[in-house]
Amino acid sequence: MNPVTRNIHKDSQVMNRRMNLAIFFMLALTGIILLKTASLQIFSYFKLDKVVTSKNTIKIIDKAERGDILDRNGELIATSMKTFNLYVMKPMMKNIENVAEIVSSAGILSYNDVLSRLNSRMLLIPISYDIPKNTAMQLKDKYASIIIKEEKTRCYINPYLFSNITGFVGVDNKGLESIEYLYDDDLSGRNGFVIFQKKPNGKLYKHPDYSERISQKGKNIVLTIDKRFQEIAYNTVERWCEKYHALHSSAIIMDVKTGEIYAMVDYPTYNSNLHGKGNPQICKNTSVVNLFEPGSIFKLIIAISAIENRSLNLNDICKNYLDTININGRKITDAHDFNILTFEQAFVMSSNIGFVNVGEKTGKENVYKTALKFGIGKKTGINVPGEQRGFFTDYTKWIPIHFANICFGQGLSVTSLQMICAYNVIANKGVYVNPKIVKSVGSSSVFKNIERRVVSKSVAMTMNDLLKEVVYKGTGVNAQVEGISVAGKTGTAEKASETGGYLSGKYISLFIGYFPADNPKFIIITFI
């Protein structure tokens, strides 16, 4: 092959390679473009299909039945009752005026009210709840668009008796207060649903390819409350309020050994079937929410601190003939005239002057540490929302008059539950147990028993003897019960003002007692 031919052949090979490479890139580019175009068309189809599908289906929610609330013996406190509720399916409604006429003729609502509701943009329009059964049956087959749903509405069996414990639900069946609020997720259950396909003519049918779910009832909650105890306590505080024209009264009954609350009542209270309508101030459980100065019932803490630290013996004199003592220019007096009082007598007769002297001999740091051991200034951890910890400042901030006031229960604040738990330590031979109001949620027990020794058994027995003396011959003689030994302590405190100081002529009276005194089963606190 001559040189010219060789060069032409070489150039031809180079050209072929270049063309093949160009064709390859062009094919690759074309493939990418085609793939991208196909991808866009496919994905666009699915997106469009999803949008169209969502626009042509209706998801109907089947509300789950709310779990029941029961007392410790299985007595119903809150349950769900069957009601007939009227809805209109808007896509199936052919003539709005005809539907309004039919519904209003049943006497449920006026024609204009029905018409106004039918103009809603909702697909399933709620018209009226809890209609009479015979009315529901009359309307059921009038038009395909009229839907009668049998649904469950929350009902409280004794709406005043348990309202401070159960709380209530709103119109949407969601818990808004107390147990209903705290355990809303457990009580609510799981809603079901059905998805309907819409035909071009507006009619609905269940498509076999669409999923559906059956509703699942919420979990039942069993309380530690005993309905019988609750009724006795409620009737008692109601009678006190009416007899003494008191603004408020409450009571707690607790099992000494286990901390189970058998009764927890308030008066006045509210109707839980009204979904919280009325005075919001009485929609709370005051035993854990309301704070007050404990007054003389706090002398238990001072006495125990003195005994534990061996500041005084029970026969030591803690009050002489003086009727008043002066601290930083402020006078402290007793409600009654006493002569000489021993430590024991000062506790039994509830002498303020005597206990200021007991506190000074014991020391504010020791008093503070004893109070903390008994749970003062701390939440008890009970399963009730809104529990308060109270107000109890560090002892390093106590000036002399502040410490003197603390010795007879002023200058700090507590809840009724805190104080019954503190006294229960003595009733339970020196051991603290946590208070409980819920036994179980569904099949699971939530009964967590937490115990800790606070004082020795001997100290507890000494205080038990003093508390028996209070009822036998001291300020608590009115708590005597024939044939039953009772131990306890009375307390009267001036009512603190929200703006500082105290309200003139306004007092709080309390009693904490347990029985039988030497082997107690129950402990009670009353507040008025």
This prediction has a pTM of: 0.81
Contact between 409 and 507 (Cβ < 8 Å): no
The b-or-e profile of 117-142 (16+ CB within 10 A means b, else e) is: bbeeeebbbebbeebeeebbeebeee
Domains of the chain: 62-219 (3.90.1310.10), 229-527 (3.40.710.10)
Average pLDDT over all residues of the chain: 85
Residues of the chain with pLDDT under 70: 1-55, 200-205, 276, 278-281, 321, 498-501, 504
135-149: pLDDT as tens digits? 888 887 788 788 888
52: left (phi over 0), alpha (psi -120 to 50) or beta: alpha
461-493: pLDDT as tens digits? 999 999 999 999 999 999 999 999 999 999 987
φ, ψ dihedrals at 345, nearest 5°: -65, -35
Contact between 176 and 182 (Cβ < 8 Å): no
Token pair belonging to 314: 């029970």
Distance of CA 134 to the CA centre of its chain: 38
50-104: pLDDT as tens digits? 333 456 777 777 788 999 999 999 999 999 988 888 888 887 888 888 888 988 8
Per-residue model confidence (pLDDT) at position 14: 45
Across 133-278, the runs of DSSP E, i.e. the strands, are 146-156, 192-198, 204-206, 212-213, 221-223, 249-255, 261-267
Contact between 77 and 220 (Cβ < 8 Å): no
Distance between CA atoms of residues 59 and 388, nearest Å: 44
Distance between CA atoms of residues 87 and 112, nearest Å: 16
Contact between 261 and 254 (Cβ < 8 Å): yes
Which residues make Cβ contacts (< 8 Å) with residue 312, sequence separation at least 6?
Answer: 306, 318, 343, 358, 361, 362
